[in-house]
């Protein structure tokens, strides 16, 4: 068989030589033959200059391995162990009858554990993982591929992005994986997913980039994910998505599955937003500081596109603009459609948020908008959100709001709690674990509109009302635009 193959190659070589000697219409056969013999390396018509991607050619290329790449990156992919102490309560605790006749001993707290993956992106010990891996954790440990374990400090956690940054310390530098440019990815590029699925140990799977700029609601503020068919399973969260240059181009975050296991649809947070989050952590921030735009946006539907005379539904439609905001100073108006930022296309409001979030504070972004059928270019400054008073007040006393931390809504706080930029009022910023406020179902981001018939205008007023001595409570909460009215005896 091998002799036949060698004979075929030799015959093709002779045929190629004879055809090259002729200057005739036989060139039409010679061109594809040349590409066949040279492994398809010649640039096809229409392919960009300098393009090096091609399909494997020959048995030798099919026997190539990802092993050198894995050896380089795998030491920087770690396991993340998070533990949370949860107070164990008897169902009869708090009942006056049972507490009167029975003496309930204090039950020891239970420990809940979670397992995920992470990536060392800096030799100083900076680890990136997912927020949901270390959510409300009291203790987080990081285990390297060589078996060493380190206690870690949480530098930054951002639920909206589903990202967290940890810090581990050692006398020697840690192995680190470089962050690549996720904007350079194309659909069809080969990628590797490295992590610790189901806790079985470090595992590498391969696949391709299946899609870009995927929008997934409920996972991240910026629904702008890399989709891959490389197998991602529970435990892979926080692991690395690696390109063929040995760079981390994404942090594996979620899967689409009806069974709980991989069916070839996995999603990763792009490395460009990860890089911005890491820089925030290095600069001492405990959450990612998003640029303040001062405008609300919504998707462009087919009906809206038809009404605005657009060729197709794409972009971010401006619904309102806050006065004196960066958007207002740039000249952005309601009914404008943002279609690009710094020359990069914007298909959805989530894509717009992603494009702006990857820009450093202090720069100026060039915004391309459609207005009345004309395309305009506006210069918008990339600024921090105004902090407002910045005063957070903790509610005490024995009422249902005890244990809640509240503040007056500011642009910075609205951004942090994922509220509309035009929001106002007094908002719940945080809740103490196992507090009365947490037990009645209050959540961070709830805006308190009214308590016992009085409209809430300031955090000080709310503190005075909620610490008063009364057993009956009536209050109104604004939760994501939904009004909730509650009456209870507490």
d(CA 76, CA 212): 25
Residue 41 counted as domain residue: no
Among 148, 153, 178, which residue's Cα sits nearest to residue 166? 153
The DSSP result for 73-103, as a single string, is: HGGGEEEEEEEEEE----TTTT-HHHHHH--
Let me know if 40 is exposed, middle or buried by CB neighbors in 10 A (0-12, 13-18, 19+).
middle
d(CA 301, CA 149): 51
Residue 45 counted as domain residue: no
Residue 197 counted as domain residue: yes
| Residues designated as active site | 132, 162, 237
Residue 303 counted as domain residue: yes
- Give first-to-last CA distance, the chain, whole Å: 87
pLDDT in tens, the chain (490 residues): 444 444 444 444 444 444 444 444 445 555 554 555 454 444 445 555 556 666 767 777 767 788 899 999 999 999 999 988 766 555 555 555 555 555 555 566 666 777 899 999 999 999 999 999 998 888 999 999 998 999 999 999 988 889 999 999 998 999 999 999 999 999 999 999 999 988 888 999 999 999 998 877 656 666 789 999 999 988 889 999 999 999 999 999 988 877 777 778 899 999 999 999 999 999 888 878 889 998 989 999 999 999 888 989 999 999 999 888 999 999 999 999 999 999 999 999 988 988 998 998 889 999 999 998 899 999 999 998 888 776 899 999 889 999 999 999 988 888 888 787 667 889 999 999 889 999 899 999 999 999 999 999 999 999 999 998 888 999 999 998 899 999 988 8
| Statement to judge: residues 78 and 159 lie in one domain | yes
Task: Take residue 439 and report the two structure tokens written for it.
Answer: 């037990």
Q: Are the CB atoms for 117 and 252 separated by under 8 Å?
A: yes
Q: Are the CB atoms for 324 and 419 separated by under 8 Å?
A: no
Total-model pTM: 0.75
Q: Answer with the one of 282, 315, 332 that is the final residue of a domain.
A: 282
Residue 37 counted as domain residue: no
Residue 196 counted as domain residue: yes
| Statement to judge: residues 263 and 338 lie in one domain | no
Angle, in degrees to the nearest 10, between helices 349-357 and 271-282: 40
| Statement to judge: residues 414 and 454 lie in one domain | yes
Residue 388 counted as domain residue: no
- Residue 446, domain extent: 393-489
């Amino acid at each position: 068989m091998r002799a036949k193959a060698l004979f075929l190659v030799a015959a093709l070589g002779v045929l190629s030589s004879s055809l090259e000697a002729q200057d005739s219409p036989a060139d039409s056969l010679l061109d594809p033959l040349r590409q066949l013999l040279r492994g398809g390396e010649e640039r096809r018509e229409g392919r960009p200059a300098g393009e090096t991607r091609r399909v494997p050619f020959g048995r030798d290329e099919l026997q190539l391995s990802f092993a050198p790449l894995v050896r380089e990156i795998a030491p920087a992919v770690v396991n993340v162990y998070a533990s949370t102490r949860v107070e164990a309560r008897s169902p009869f605790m708090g009942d006056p009858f049972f507490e009167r006749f029975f003496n309930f001993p204090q039950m020891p707290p239970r420990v809940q554990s979670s397992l995920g993956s992470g990536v060392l992106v800096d030799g100083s010990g900076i680890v990136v993982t997912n927020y949901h891996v270390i959510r409300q954790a009291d203790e987080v440990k990081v285990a390297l591929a060589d078996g060493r374990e380190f206690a870690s400090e949480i530098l930054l956690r951002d639920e909206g992005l589903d990202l967290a940054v940890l810090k581990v310390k050692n006398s020697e530098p840690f192995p680190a994986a470089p962050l690549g440019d996720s904007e350079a990815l194309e659909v069809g590029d080969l990628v590797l997913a490295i992590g610790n699925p189901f806790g079985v140990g470090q595992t590498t799977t391969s696949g391709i980039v299946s899609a870009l700029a995927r929008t997934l609601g409920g996972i991240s503020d910026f629904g702008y994910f890399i989709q891959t068919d490389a197998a991602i399973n529970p435990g892979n969260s926080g692991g690395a998505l690696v390109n063929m240059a040995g760079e981390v181009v994404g942090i594996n975050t979620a899967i689409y599955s009806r069974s709980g296991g991989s069916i070839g649809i996995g999603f990763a947070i792009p490395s460009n937003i990860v890089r911005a989050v890491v820089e925030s952590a290095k600069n001492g921030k405990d959450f990612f500081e998003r640029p303040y735009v001062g405008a609300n946006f919504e998707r462009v539907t087919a009906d809206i596109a038809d009404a605005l005379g657009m060729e197709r539904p794409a972009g971010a439609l401006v619904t309102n603009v806050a006065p004196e905001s960066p958007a207002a100073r740039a000249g952005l108006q309601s009914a404008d459609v943002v279609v690009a930022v710094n020359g990069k296309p914007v298909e959805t409001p989530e894509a717009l948020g992603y494009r702006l979030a990857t820009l450093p504070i202090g720069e100026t972004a060039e915004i391309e908008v459609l207005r009345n059928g004309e395309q305009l270019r506006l210069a918008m400054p990339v600024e921090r959100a105004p902090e407002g008073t910045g005063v957070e007040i903790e509610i005490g006393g024995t009422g249902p709001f005890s244990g809640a931390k509240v503040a007056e809504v500011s642009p910075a706080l609205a951004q942090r709690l994922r509220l509309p930029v035009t929001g106002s009022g007094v908002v719940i910023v945080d809740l103490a674990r196992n507090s009365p406020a947490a037990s009645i179902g209050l959540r961070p981001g709830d805006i308190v509109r009214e308590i016992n018939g009085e409209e809430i205008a300031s955090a000080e007023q709310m503190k005075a009302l909620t610490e008063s001595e009364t057993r009956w409570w009536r209050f109104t909460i604004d939760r994501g635009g939904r009004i909730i009215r509650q009456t209870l005896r507490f």
